[in-house]
């Protein structure tokens, strides 16, 4: 597919990609509020992800942009135009469905030509653009097959071709990789990124898989409970989670409750009367949570640690060993790099833990 993209130049980046602005978008199914005042700005030509667990409202939000589902209140601006209340067939929004939704009674060519036929393009133009779109996804040899004769990955690419051939203002991808097997998924996400860069089209990618979102998207919005929890570049959101939900959803996190105290211009995070952690920078005093990845803690075998605990168990994860360490009545996870021949600490060992300098985030409670 990548090759195909390099060799075909006709389906060029549409000049002037469309930015999306969402303002105070609220949507209910009956009496259940599914989206609760969403505000988002997605830049022109950006590859953006909606990331969240199932039931978070991410698919509902995507469908609202495409014009499916109940009518929301608020604004969805594609460029300068508010599309709320506009029928799906008048929006010029391209969506690739999770199930691909290829029509089984039509060949690949007929599927891809459909949108152009609906736009009453001349036959010659339809033929040319269908060919270009199929070349773009590397499936020009399969034009006369039926969807049932294609593999999952090929069906996916037909669905993409069918959508981009109408040159939509924005491209919406609803869990596009979830029906593919693991190897194909890794390949396909790179292909998707290449296609998006080639076309320069504003793209929203819905997924519950943080790895997918992190690897290909410019920015992500983490959704939960119909609310945008945090927006930002993937590494920023991972390193600076705005709240404990985001911290937990993006990877494993130790979330320790305690309080921040400031003394002589330096701040400390107090876990209990025996343990406290020095903080960098200044923080407001009071109740807070300290969020720390398992890699952010290390064993202080020289005894110069801040927190005393007891190992209660461990898991071998391959490149790391994850230890469960009891600190008073709480438990934390500590990852230690594993190398061949390395010793495994045994359960029951008393240990000292130290926060790796610069790791951890303080969240006000």
Contacts with other proteins by CB under 8 A lie at 66-68, 87-89, 91, 93-95, 97-99, 101, 103-105, 114-115, 118-119, 148, 162-163, 166
Give the whole-angstrom CA distance, residue 326 versus residue 318: 23
Give the whole-angstrom CA distance, residue 15 versus residue 199: 9
Give the whole-angstrom CA distance, residue 56 versus residue 222: 9
State the minimum distance, in angstroms, from the CB of residue 177 to other proteins.
16
State the minimum distance, in angstroms, from the CB of residue 94 to other proteins.
7
Is the CB of 134 or the CB of 321 nearer to other proteins? 134
Residue 307 tokens read as: 């927190």
Is the CB of 95 or the CB of 353 nearer to other proteins? 95
Is the CB of 133 or the CB of 355 nearer to other proteins? 133
State the minimum distance, in angstroms, from the CB of residue 30 to other proteins.
12
Is the CB of 170 or the CB of 362 nearer to other proteins? 170
Burial class for 281, CB neighbours closer than 10 Å (0-12, 13-18, 19+): exposed
Of residues 297, 231, 274, 251, the one with CA closest to residue 38: 231
CB 293 within 8 A of CB 359: yes
State the minimum distance, in angstroms, from the CB of residue 102 to other proteins.
8
Burial class for 235, CB neighbours closer than 10 Å (0-12, 13-18, 19+): exposed
Any alpha helices (H) in 200-342, and if so which ranges? 210-216, 234-239, 244-249
State the minimum distance, in angstroms, from the CB of residue 82 to other proteins.
18
Is the CB of 70 or the CB of 284 nearer to other proteins? 70
Is the CB of 163 or the CB of 210 nearer to other proteins? 163
State the minimum distance, in angstroms, from the CB of residue 105 to other proteins.
4
CB 227 within 8 A of CB 37: yes
């Amino acid at each position: 597919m990548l090759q195909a993209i390099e060799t075909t130049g006709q389906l060029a980046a549409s000049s002037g990609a469309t930015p999306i602005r969402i303002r105070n978008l609220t949507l209910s199914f009956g009496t259940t509020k599914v989206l609760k005042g969403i505000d988002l700005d997605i830049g022109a030509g950006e590859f953006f992800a909606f990331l969240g667990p199932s039931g978070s409202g991410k698919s509902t939000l995507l469908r609202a942009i495409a014009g499916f589902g109940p009518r929301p209140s608020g604004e969805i601006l594609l460029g300068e135009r508010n599309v709320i209340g506009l029928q799906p067939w008048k929006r010029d929004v391209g969506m690739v469905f999770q199930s691909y939704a290829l029509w089984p009674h039509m060949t690949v060519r007929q599927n891809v030509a459909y949108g152009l036929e609906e736009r009453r393009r001349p036959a010659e133009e339809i033929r040319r653009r269908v060919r270009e779109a199929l070349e773009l996804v590397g499936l020009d040899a399969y034009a006369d097959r039926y969807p049932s004769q294609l593999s999952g990955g090929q069906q996916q690419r037909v669905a993409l071709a069918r959508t981009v051939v109408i040159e939509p203002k924005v491209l919406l991808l609803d869990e596009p990789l979830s029906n593919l097997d693991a190897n194909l998924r890794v390949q396909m996400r790179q292909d998707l990124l290449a296609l998006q860069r080639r076309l320069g089209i504003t793209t929203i990618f819905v997924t519950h898989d943080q790895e997918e979102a992190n690897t290909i998207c410019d920015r992500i919005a983490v959704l939960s409970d119909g609310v945008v929890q945090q927006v930002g570049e993937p590494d920023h959101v991972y390193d600076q989670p705005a709240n404990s939900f985001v911290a937990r959803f993006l990877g494993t996190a130790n979330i320790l409750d305690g309080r921040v105290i400031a003394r002589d211009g330096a701040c400390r995070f107090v876990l209990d009367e025996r343990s406290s952690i020095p903080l960098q920078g200044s923080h407001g005093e009071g109740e807070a949570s300290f969020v720390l990845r398992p890699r952010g803690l290390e064993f202080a075998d020289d005894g110069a640690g801040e927190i005393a605990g007891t190992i209660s168990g461990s898991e071998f994860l391959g490149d790391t060993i994850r230890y469960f360490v009891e600190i008073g009545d709480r438990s934390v996870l500590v990852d230690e790099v594993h190398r061949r021949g390395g010793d495994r600490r045994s359960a029951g060992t008393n240990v000292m833990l130290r926060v790796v300098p610069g790791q951890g985030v303080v969240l006000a409670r």
